[in-house]
Chains A and B, each alone.
Chain A
């Protein structure tokens, strides 16, 4: 039977609005305003998961985003299912379904619990040491580790929710709406600054909003009431935008921040349709004020991880804000005064506090006397040495601390409890500050790191700046914000603060025990099961840097990034190594502060909006004619056009044969086109291409090869001289933007004296390439006014002409080795000219072909494709393209690199043709090429770069790169595959019509 631990509702929780939800298949009830954690605690449910490594039962530990244990799977078995959701953050809604994720088969019986018993053999670095060797064993272990480690389940279907991104520009961004954030927002907005205030929670006011004890007052008002009035006031300010449920994930340089605004996660599922779920805010703020508060530290003692052990501040928040007691018989364990506030909150509601265990020998605060008056036993100078209870704490034992705090002395006292609140003091939440590049300094008094040097126009205020008392927070916030914003109009005069607590604290990073360390389990990182013992082991094994210790022990590497235990890890390292805190550095907190969903990150860029799609002007025709498409960069290119039941191979064989025997037509609109003009255009081409350009006649075309300065092939294409000072260059489809960028770079930075202008005209033209023995007849019909005779219009020349009234450029150039004409026409006429070609070509069996056939046809001719047959290590010499490298030109880009000691070696990988012994056997592209399979290790000579079955040659052909391949013509090599070795012979890379007769063939 579950108990009801709801005492008194608060402003946040609406007891008239009951909500049912399911956790681990059981139905529970909570109220509107509850988090899943507060609702479970009200039902006396503490056990919510199992730890990652030892599978120890774990309970809710905190009441905020720092939660390490209560991470659950939300929405079982739906497309919305989501792992790693913190129960302390998710607000309940009608129909919520959640389950523990880190347990198998169930949270109450967990098979991995055996790891807890085996823990002596599961020390730090265990996974590295054991499972990584021998390597072949990993596959076997992995299945069980993954299954029992249970990292949660990802959904199997597409995310049905909508996400979006939004840019925000503001004068001041304030992160955190606790007391200092509220004050800063009021000061900024009242002084005319455009201000944005964000907070990760659903309500404003931080922890001060439930600070409603008689012992805490500002200007004679209970602190929470004072703050409520402030909140009322700022909510009316015009310059201020307030966003709740908005968590800042990343604080980058130049005050650029990313925040996730959560818009629907708290709504019943049926109210979420067509609403944006999360919005990623990209905020550029002139000034940033960080007011992210502080996170309470746990204490590190033996068995400090049992369900029912929470942070003392969480116990206080649950009772004060949600009206929920974490137990009926509470004990608090502390090294500072704040736990007494928790005790008073419980006592005043009539909830039993059995005892307070305090590390300090002297306690002298108003609140401590008040607590004693309420019959709470205080054990001064004591520490908890052990706790009991497997799935829920049921007791603990304590001992006295020695004077130096290093040992325990005296007799063990055993106390009973069903809830233990621990307080190790406070850690300023400097995560965002350090993300932004801020440097910290260590404050000895209370052992905290606080902001020291700001890397941008930003300020930390309140407890994240180390101002932990109400007095410091109020006074310092006003002073520093006033100066930071350079404002004078301030409502706040002076503050009269009443508080029941003092700052004294006795900091002991690792509390002593009566057991030897090896027998204890004192958890430093709850989520990853890293203990104090593990950290000491890492130090013994020689690790010193905190970053190394972190990785070896996995401390701080969970989804909570060790928000609770990182300080203790640092403390234990310095104590053990005998160094000063901060000397080992602090770990780097990286974005996101709390995990983000993939949906939030991608926003609207999903499905067809994932990337920009570029379609040619003829695209619709391809679609209507059953083309399959291939992505080339952002372009959709027709890949092949299957007829009826053809597969790709069959379609390509048919298309390839038609292109050589009759006529083929290709949409080449995607090729990059750059318009080059200026009196120095020829000189410019001379410098950027390997071959000479000055003597190219007007109206002629030339193939050019472009290198990088390191001599490696960068791009290629045909360039046409349109006029004395006017050229049009074509580039590869994928290389267009980069080539333009590179040319601009040289023009602007190396040769500004050249009179040359570049303009990208790729999208201006549709390019239709008609090839094959009948091509001339077809284009003659499409453009009857133009003389297509070989005498008037030879190969590698160009004509300006018209189709009807529309100007067009026709080039006679060929990438297939066939006679071939390229019609370039204003884009919007592309489709109609294509259709005209199809119509006029009907009698000649004109066949549309796609990129796959184009690749096959050019491979038959041994033409390279930059990026397929080359990578960034191939020179033109390696490609057997010496003919295109000018010997006469004094200089061109990459020339000097062609005779570096490395590039002149004759055993470089060189492009060759490959013919298989069995002409039917088609090689796999990427397959390795070797000479000798018996020698061990086998020497890899190269790899296959292009491979096809050629229907025109009736055999398999391939191109490949082979070390010293140029001299290996006729030699036998081997392509070793999984099941067999394929014998090949090195051949000339030109397989068809080496003499180029087909370019002028007449039928």
Chain B
């Protein structure tokens, strides 16, 4: 079980959090202008990489805030935690 350093509350057990999948996938501003393929790209396609991945997490049983983390999926080490809207740290 990870320890996650919530940017608003501090370090907490993983069981307080909910994972929200890959980060930095912005909802298109004008979905109606997209082709089926372009919309599918946003809707379904995720990288699922081995290595450092940027992910959305929610402190569901805490402050309810969403934030991002950079996690190495091969060993679960969390390299960085940063707030929504902030740029991902350089690898």
A residues near B, CB below 8 A? 252-254, 256, 284, 437, 455, 709-710, 741, 744-745, 748-750, 752, 890-891, 895-897, 900-901
Chain B: minimal CB distance from A28 (Å) = 45
Judge whether A253 and B40 touch: CB under 8 Å: no
Judge whether B36 and A900 touch: CB under 8 Å: yes
Give B36-72 interface residues, CB cut-off 8 Å to A. 36, 39-40, 43, 56, 58, 60, 64-66
Known contacts A253-B76, A741-B60, A744-B64: does B27 contact A750 (CB below 8 Å)? yes
Residue B90 lies at the interface, judged by CB distance under 8 Å to chain A: no
Judge whether A745 and B58 touch: CB under 8 Å: yes
Residues on A with C-beta less than 8 A from B76 are 253-254, 437
Residues on A with C-beta less than 8 A from B2 are 253-254
Chain A: minimal CB distance from B20 (Å) = 7
Judge whether A896 and B18 touch: CB under 8 Å: no
B4-41 near A? 1/0 per residue, CB < 8 Å: 00000000000000101000001110111010100110
Give the most central of B18, B31, B40, B58: most A CB within 10 Å: B31
Residues on B with C-beta less than 8 A from A253 are 1-2, 75-76
Roughly how many angstroms separate A447 CA and B43 CA in the complex, as a whole number?
A: 51
Roughly how many angstroms separate A253 CA and B45 CA in the complex, as a whole number?
A: 29
- Give which listed residue, B31, B64, B84, contacts A891 with CB less than 8 A: B31
Judge whether A897 and B43 touch: CB under 8 Å: yes
- 24 A-B pairs with C-beta separation under 8 A: A252-B1, A253-B75, A254-B2, A284-B3, A709-B27, A709-B43, A741-B18, A741-B58, A741-B60, A744-B64, A745-B20, A745-B66, A748-B66, A748-B84, A749-B56, A749-B66, A891-B31, A895-B31, A895-B32, A896-B28, A896-B31, A896-B34, A897-B39, A900-B40
Residues on B with C-beta less than 8 A from A897 are 39, 43
**Shortest Cβ distance from B76 into A: residue:** A253
**Shortest Cβ distance from A252 into B: residue:** B1
Roughly how many angstroms separate A798 CA and B36 CA in the complex, as a whole number?
A: 42
Chain B: minimal CB distance from A732 (Å) = 19
Judge whether A256 and B84 touch: CB under 8 Å: no
Residues on A with C-beta less than 8 A from B3 are 254, 284
Residues on A with C-beta less than 8 A from B60 are 741
Judge whether A752 and B36 touch: CB under 8 Å: no
Judge whether A256 and B32 touch: CB under 8 Å: no
B residues near A, CB below 8 A? 1-3, 18, 20, 26-28, 30-32, 34, 36, 39-40, 43, 56, 58, 60, 64-66, 75-76, 84-85
Roughly how many angstroms separate A551 CA and B2 CA in the complex, as a whole number?
A: 31
Roughly how many angstroms separate A750 CA and B27 CA in the complex, as a whole number?
A: 7
Roughly how many angstroms separate A749 CA and B28 CA in the complex, as a whole number?
A: 13
Chain A: minimal CB distance from B27 (Å) = 5
Roughly how many angstroms separate A464 CA and B59 CA in the complex, as a whole number?
A: 39
Chain A: minimal CB distance from B46 (Å) = 13
Roughly how many angstroms separate A749 CA and B75 CA in the complex, as a whole number?
A: 27
Give the most central of A748, A890, A900, A901: most B CB within 10 Å: A748
Judge whether A896 and B32 touch: CB under 8 Å: yes
**Shortest Cβ distance from B44 into A: residue:** A710
Roughly how many angstroms separate A744 CA and B60 CA in the complex, as a whole number?
A: 10
**Shortest Cβ distance from B64 into A: residue:** A744
Chain A: minimal CB distance from B64 (Å) = 6
Judge whether A437 and B75 touch: CB under 8 Å: yes
**Shortest Cβ distance from B83 into A: residue:** A748
Chain B: minimal CB distance from A706 (Å) = 16
Chain A: minimal CB distance from B65 (Å) = 7
Give the most central of A710, A748, A749: most B CB within 10 Å: A749
Residues on A with C-beta less than 8 A from B18 are 741
Chain B: minimal CB distance from A250 (Å) = 10
Residues on A with C-beta less than 8 A from B56 are 749
Judge whether B1 and A901 touch: CB under 8 Å: no
Judge whether A455 and B34 touch: CB under 8 Å: no
Chain A: minimal CB distance from B1 (Å) = 5
Give the most central of A254, A710, A752: most B CB within 10 Å: A254
Roughly how many angstroms separate A890 CA and B30 CA in the complex, as a whole number?
A: 9
Residues on A with C-beta less than 8 A from B28 are 896
Residues on A with C-beta less than 8 A from B66 are 744-745, 748-749
- Contacts beyond the supplied A254-B3, A744-B58: 6 A-B pairs with Cβ under 8 Å: A253-B1, A254-B76, A256-B1, A437-B75, A437-B76, A900-B36
- Give which listed residue, A437, A890, A900, contacts B32 with CB less than 8 A: A890
Roughly how many angstroms separate A710 CA and B40 CA in the complex, as a whole number?
A: 9
Give the most central of A745, A896, A901: most B CB within 10 Å: A896
**Shortest Cβ distance from A900 into B: residue:** B36
Roughly how many angstroms separate A253 CA and B78 CA in the complex, as a whole number?
A: 11
Roughly how many angstroms separate A842 CA and B78 CA in the complex, as a whole number?
A: 63
Roughly how many angstroms separate A252 CA and B1 CA in the complex, as a whole number?
A: 7
Roughly how many angstroms separate A756 CA and B40 CA in the complex, as a whole number?
A: 29
Chain A: minimal CB distance from B42 (Å) = 8
Residues on B with C-beta less than 8 A from A896 are 28, 31-32, 34, 39
Residues on A with C-beta less than 8 A from B30 are 891
Residues on B with C-beta less than 8 A from A455 are 75
Roughly how many angstroms separate A342 CA and B2 CA in the complex, as a whole number?
A: 45
Residues on B with C-beta less than 8 A from A748 are 65-66, 84
Roughly how many angstroms separate A525 CA and B26 CA in the complex, as a whole number?
A: 54
Judge whether A901 and B36 touch: CB under 8 Å: yes
Chain A: minimal CB distance from B21 (Å) = 11
Residues on A with C-beta less than 8 A from B64 are 744
Closest A-B pairs by Cβ, 4 of them: A896-B31, A748-B66, A256-B1, A253-B76
Chain A: minimal CB distance from B18 (Å) = 7
Roughly how many angstroms separate A252 CA and B40 CA in the complex, as a whole number?
A: 37
Residues on B with C-beta less than 8 A from A710 are 43
Chain B: minimal CB distance from A356 (Å) = 46
**Shortest Cβ distance from B3 into A: residue:** A254
Roughly how many angstroms separate A95 CA and B83 CA in the complex, as a whole number?
A: 62
**Shortest Cβ distance from B38 into A: residue:** A896
Judge whether B1 and A752 touch: CB under 8 Å: no
Residues on A with C-beta less than 8 A from B65 are 748
Chain B: minimal CB distance from A2 (Å) = 50
**Shortest Cβ distance from B2 into A: residue:** A254
Roughly how many angstroms separate A256 CA and B36 CA in the complex, as a whole number?
A: 45
Roughly how many angstroms separate A752 CA and B67 CA in the complex, as a whole number?
A: 13
Residues on B with C-beta less than 8 A from A890 are 32
Give the most central of A253, A890, A895, A900: most B CB within 10 Å: A253
Judge whether B31 and A752 touch: CB under 8 Å: no
Chain B: minimal CB distance from A675 (Å) = 14
**Shortest Cβ distance from A710 into B: residue:** B43
Roughly how many angstroms separate A748 CA and B43 CA in the complex, as a whole number?
A: 19
Roughly how many angstroms separate A253 CA and B4 CA in the complex, as a whole number?
A: 12
Chain B: minimal CB distance from A33 (Å) = 37
Roughly how many angstroms separate A256 CA and B32 CA in the complex, as a whole number?
A: 48
Roughly how many angstroms separate A253 CA and B75 CA in the complex, as a whole number?
A: 8
**Shortest Cβ distance from A758 into B: residue:** B64
Known contacts A254-B3, A437-B75: does B39 contact A900 (CB below 8 Å)? yes
Roughly how many angstroms separate A254 CA and B15 CA in the complex, as a whole number?
A: 13
Roughly how many angstroms separate A900 CA and B31 CA in the complex, as a whole number?
A: 12
Known contacts A741-B18, A744-B64, A891-B32: does B39 contact A749 (CB below 8 Å)? no
**Shortest Cβ distance from A748 into B: residue:** B66
Roughly how many angstroms separate A252 CA and B75 CA in the complex, as a whole number?
A: 11
**Shortest Cβ distance from B78 into A: residue:** A254
Roughly how many angstroms separate A745 CA and B20 CA in the complex, as a whole number?
A: 9
Chain B: minimal CB distance from A724 (Å) = 26
Roughly how many angstroms separate A49 CA and B84 CA in the complex, as a whole number?
A: 61
Roughly how many angstroms separate A891 CA and B85 CA in the complex, as a whole number?
A: 22
Roughly how many angstroms separate A900 CA and B84 CA in the complex, as a whole number?
A: 30
Roughly how many angstroms separate A709 CA and B84 CA in the complex, as a whole number?
A: 20
Residues on A with C-beta less than 8 A from B39 are 896-897, 900
Chain A: minimal CB distance from B33 (Å) = 9
**Shortest Cβ distance from A740 into B: residue:** B64
Residues on A with C-beta less than 8 A from B40 are 900
Roughly how many angstroms separate A749 CA and B54 CA in the complex, as a whole number?
A: 14
Roughly how many angstroms separate A901 CA and B40 CA in the complex, as a whole number?
A: 11
Roughly how many angstroms separate A890 CA and B33 CA in the complex, as a whole number?
A: 11
Residues on A with C-beta less than 8 A from B20 are 745
Chain B: minimal CB distance from A405 (Å) = 40
